Chain A
Amino acid sequence: MSLWRYANPAEFMRVSGRVLPVLWALTAACLAIGLGWGFFIAPDDYQQGATVKILFIHVPAALMAINAWLMMLVTSLIWLVRRHHVSALAARAAAPVGATMTVIALLTGAIWGQPMWGTWWAWDPRLTSFFILFVFYLGYIALWEAVDEPDKAADLTSVLCLVGSVFALLSRYAVFFWSQGLHQGPSLSLDRTENVDNAFYWPLLVSIAGFVLLFLSLVLLRTRTEIRARRLRALQEVEARA
């Protein structure tokens, strides 16, 4: 029995239909525990006060923003190499979720930054990289929408995803060069997870698990929708020819 069995749409629909309710339940539990613990039980930070609590949304969202793109890269490669339709549709399904996570990360970052730095936005390398990532998501989604023929759209978006991955990474390093090349070194560090206190560590971990599960649930749900849309399209074509 191989993993590729699940690349068959019928098999995928059968299995995902059973898994999805469990995933939703786990998602709800993890998010409730992680966010509830973080918001109401974990102490305020001695420096940042209550604003630190937004970190329980900000950090997981930022992680998923990047991981969603990585998942799209892997599924795009699988489509190009093995031509499994479910893989291509999973990449398509993940894009809007990843884009939304990017927006959440940017917005929560701005809300956190306002009281802490006194500004909603700074052209800090990390903020800028996420902004760029968001633009890459937009281009990817737009290309999917623009191509009529689904298989060709899968082909072309896969190529774009590969090129985009290279340039998203390149941009990240270029942005560090730019920010240090034009200004003094970054005075605002966003690297908070490294020195985070134990009191924040566990609820943060549960929140991250919750976001991972949320992402998986949403992608499965959206992939199921995409598969149904393709089936509908195929059935309509058969109908039109009969």
Chain B
Amino acid sequence: MSAGAAVLGRELRLALRSGGGAGLGLAFFLITVLLMPFGVGPEPEKLATVAVGTLWIAALLACLLSLDRLFQADQEDGTLDILALSPLPLETLVALKAAAHWLSTGLPLVAAAPLLGITLNLPAPAFPWLVASLAIGTPGLSFLGAIGAALTIGIRRGGLLLSLLVLPLYIPSLIFGASAATAAAEGRDPGPAMLLLAGLTLAIVALAPFVGAAAIRLNLR
């Protein structure tokens, strides 16, 4: 088993075993969507107009939940020191941890989104595009979150600060992702927004590990 597979396997095992990560994010997603109709009213037409936005914003907030422990838990028990000394580059470590975060938090949201879309009366043509936009957009959210988590490693109660740092970074992803699904719902071409979202996510996935690793190095010294 290679070093990378070992890290990924361990991260996923920890996310599933502690009963944290995966389940909690999904539950939060469900509850947020459940609350929405109480806020805007039960009329199907009204819900249809806010369905895409609700699902995207709920997914965005659910992604934040387990981020603050991404590196902090490893720093508190000394694991981060040993990982920093291991042959695995820190950049790879950040990328693997962000990938594991997406697999345990982002992917379940993508799977649950169409079911919740039904409850919000999401227009039929928007379903595939909503799922696609979340599938393409949420990896970027996890990788951006890794930057925030790396910046707030040493901060007690860093979770709130992390939200303040990371949520503004989510704005472009949210705009492109929600635009694609909305365009499909309104019978327009979702292509341009989707391509921009894909390009943005690819750039984030390519660059965020370097920024995150730099922040961890600054934190370790």
Chain A positions near chain B (C-beta within 8 angstroms): 132, 135-136, 138-139, 142-143, 146-147, 152, 155-156, 159-160, 162-164, 167, 170-171, 174-175, 177-178, 181-182
Task: State how many angstroms separate the Cβ of B149 from the closest Cβ of chain A.
Answer: 12
Q: Which residue of A lies closest to B163 (CB)?
A: A139
B62 / chain A contacts, CB cutoff of 8 Å: none
Known contacts A147-B154, A174-B176, A177-B176, A132 near B169 by CB under 8 Å: no
Are A139 and B211 touching (Cβ within 8 A)? no
Task: State how many angstroms separate the Cβ of B73 from the closest Cβ of chain A.
Answer: 18
In the assembled complex, the Cα of A182 lies from the Cα of B52 at a distance in Å of: 13
B154 / chain A contacts, CB cutoff of 8 Å: 147, 152
Are A163 and B169 touching (Cβ within 8 A)? yes
Are B168 and A177 touching (Cβ within 8 A)? no
Question: Chain A binding site: helix, strand, loop or mixed by DSSP?
Answer: helix
A175 / chain B contacts, CB cutoff of 8 Å: 171, 175
In the assembled complex, the Cα of A174 lies from the Cα of B196 at a distance in Å of: 9
Partner among A135, A162, A177 whose Cβ is within 8 Å of the Cβ of B175: A177
B147 / chain A contacts, CB cutoff of 8 Å: 163
Are A171 and B172 touching (Cβ within 8 A)? yes
Q: Which residue of B lies closest to A169 (CB)?
A: B172
- B48 adjacent to chain A (CB < 8 Å): no
A162 / chain B contacts, CB cutoff of 8 Å: 211
Q: Which residue of A lies closest to B215 (CB)?
A: A159
Are B214 and A159 touching (Cβ within 8 A)? yes
B196 / chain A contacts, CB cutoff of 8 Å: 174, 177
B155 / chain A contacts, CB cutoff of 8 Å: 146-147
B172 / chain A contacts, CB cutoff of 8 Å: 167, 170-171, 174
Known contacts A155-B218, A159-B211, A143 near B165 by CB under 8 Å: yes
Are B171 and A174 touching (Cβ within 8 A)? yes
- B131 adjacent to chain A (CB < 8 Å): no
Are A139 and B214 touching (Cβ within 8 A)? no
Are A182 and B215 touching (Cβ within 8 A)? no
B143-186 Cβ-contact flags toward A at 8 Å (1 or 0): 00001000110110010010011011101100110010011000
- B219 adjacent to chain A (CB < 8 Å): yes
Are A178 and B151 touching (Cβ within 8 A)? no
Task: State how many angstroms separate the Cβ of B133 from the closest Cβ of chain A.
Answer: 13
In the assembled complex, the Cα of A94 lies from the Cα of B195 at a distance in Å of: 37
Task: State how many angstroms separate the Cβ of A26 from the closest Cβ of chain B.
Answer: 35
